[in-house]
């Protein structure tokens, strides 16, 4: 079974980061603290403690748009994910 909750949490965190500049806190609280058992195991297995800080250094957050629609999550978030993965 494919779990998509982690992706949803990550996208919601990215949306929050449009208006909140505390990248480490937002990623920790909205993504890593809500991690699925699979993501938790991945973090443990590959000793990725402090991953929120690493993301904060690599992720360039977009500035808030004038539109209130969170369209950035469906399109631009995947570019951010690709950036972090490389």
**Residues 24-63 pLDDT 10s:** 899 899 999 999 999 888 888 888 877 776 766 665 544 4
Q: What is the pLDDT of residue 61?
A: 47
CA 30/CA 44 separation, integer angstroms: 19
CA distances from 30 to 1, 10, 19, 67, 86 (A): 23, 7, 14, 23, 23
pLDDT tens figures, 4-25? 899 999 899 989 988 898 888 9
The domain total for the chain is: 1
Domain extent at residue 31: 5-85
- In contact, 49 and 35? CB cutoff 8 Å: no
pTM score = 0.62
Rounded Cα distance between 37 and 15, Å, is 23
């Amino acid at each position: 079974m494919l779990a998509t909750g982690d992706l949803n949490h990550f996208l919601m965190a990215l949306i929050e980061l449009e208006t909140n500049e505390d990248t480490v806190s937002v990623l920790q609280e909205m993504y890593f603290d809500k991690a699925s058992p699979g993501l938790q195991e991945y973090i443990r297995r590959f000793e990725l403690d402090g991953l929120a800080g690493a993301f904060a250094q690599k992720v360039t957050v977009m500035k808030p748009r004038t539109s209130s629609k969170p369209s950035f999550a469906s399109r631009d978030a995947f570019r951010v994910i690709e950036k972090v993965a490389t």
